[in-house]
Every structure is written in C-alpha cells, then in structure tokens.
Amino acid sequence: RKEVEQDPGPFNVPEGATVAFNCTYSNSASQSFFWYRQDCRKEPKLLMSVYSSGNEDGRFTAQLNRASQYISLLIRDSKLSDSATYLCVPYPGGSYIPTFGRGTSLIVHP
Amino acid sequence: GAGVSQSPSNKVTEKGKDVELRCDPISGHTALYWYRQSLGQGLEFLIYFQGNSAPDKSGLPSDRFSAERTGGSVSTLTIQRTQQEDSAVYLCASSFATGAGNTIYFGEGSWLTVV
C-alpha cells in the first residue's frame, strides 16, 4: 500500500458547488496532516494544517478519521480560483520527512 | 529573506554537463529539504538537512546527485553528468524545526531541462 493515496481526478465542478476529496494514508503513527495546494507550474503552498480531528478555515474544512486512516478536504461554494491540485501530506510518526501524495486535481468552471 | 529563495529559476543544460542548484532557506529555519517533481508527477523526496546533523540522503536517486549545506543555511544540490531523465523542477523547502506539525515552506523551484 502506498504511503499516501489520492484520487488524481480531475474533479470538474461548477462555480458554487461543494466538492470533497479523500486521502488515505498507510502509517498509523502519523501525527499531523497538511493540505497543500499547487497551482500549475508553481510550488506547493500550505492550505490547512490538521492536528486533531479536523480544522475549518472559511470555505475549507478538513476532517481526520484515524480509525480508517483517511483525511478529507471539503470545499464549499467553489470559486474559479480554487482550481489547482490539492496535496495531502501526512507527517509520519518518528520521521522528520513529510510524505507528499500525487494530489487531486480540481477544475472549477463557470 | 522573506521566503525560500532558489536559483537559477530556469536552467537548460546539455546532457553530460554538471549543474548546481542553490537554495537559500527562510532565515532561522533549521531544516532544509530538497524535492523534485517531474511533469505531471508527485513530489519526490531527495535529501534532508537538520542543523549540524548528518543529512538524510535516502532519496537521492543515484551517486550523480549530491548536496551540501554550508553554515547551516544555504544549500547546493549538484547533479553530475546530467541525463535527460533528470529534467524536472527541483524544489527546496525549509521549516523552523523538525517533527510533526512543523510547516514546510517551498521556494519557487529551479526548472531544469537537459537536452
């Protein structure tokens, strides 16, 4: 099983839609999690950190299910500017090196 | 500086030449990472530095790749005898400390094309 698995998409949604991505991770000792967004030909940028059961920041909500080893990202009221690749990044326990998945591509269209 | 700075931003080199990529991390950040990303692929970990500790080189794909970090700050990634498959964007990142919960911040990357 890969350390991080994400549906690569792309997810094509209209403006205003609600969309959710899931990310599964294999290391049960992972202590914290991050969602990064990466625009085309740009570097990844931090979107949200998750240290407990979840986190919410405006239109973005992350939820962690440790029992099933997955983390989700929910985007409400999608904007055109949300179009990007979303990377799930668990921080494995006992390691100093975060693991990046391939990401999920989101395309928001008018 | 305000962010992670990388140079050059773009580099085109001939197969077989050596290249050096530079990274200047955020001031005060003790951890420094190199990743690379090929077109349409995910981030591939290359090497990690933390303070004065021995670097974690477990991600380097071959002995043509090496990296050093001088004075606990600036890092240089060297690729010897470049091959076409080395073409990718090389991303440097830094964080204030290590361990779970420490956000890493990326530079804009060095785009390498081997022709």
For residue range B53-104, what is the model confidence (pLDDT) as tens digits? 889 999 999 999 999 998 879 999 999 999 999 999 999 999 887 666 678 8
Judged by a CB distance cut-off of 8 A, whether residue A87 touches chain B is yes
- Dig out the tokens for A13 from the structure: 């949604």
Give pLDDT, residue B100. 60
* Confidence check: pLDDT of A20 > 70: yes
Give pLDDT, residue A13. 97
* Confidence check: pLDDT of A58 > 90: yes
Judged by a CB distance cut-off of 8 A, whether residue B56 touches chain A is yes
pLDDT digits (tens, 9 = 90+) for A71-81: 999 999 999 99
Judged by a CB distance cut-off of 8 A, whether residue A9 touches chain B is no
- Dig out the tokens for B96 from the structure: 């204030």
Q: What percentage of chain A has pLDDT greater than the value 90?
A: 66
- Comparing CB atoms, the residue among A30, A42, A100 nearest residue B43 is A100
CA proximity to B75, closest of B10, B6, B19, B3: B6
Give pLDDT, residue B101. 66
Give pLDDT, residue A78. 98
Query: Which chain A residues are within 8 Å of B100, Cβ to Cβ?
Result: 30-32, 91, 93
Residues β-bridged to residue A104: A86
Q: What percentage of chain B has pLDDT greater than the value 90?
A: 77
Give pLDDT, residue A95. 65
Q: What percentage of chain A has pLDDT greater than the value 70?
A: 96
pLDDT digits (tens, 9 = 90+) for A83-106: 999 999 987 766 678 878 889 999
Across chain A, what does the average pLDDT equal? 91
3-state secondary structure B27-79: CCCCEEEEEEECCCCCEEEEEEEECCCCCECCCCCCCCEEEEECCCCCEEEEE
Give pLDDT, residue B36. 96
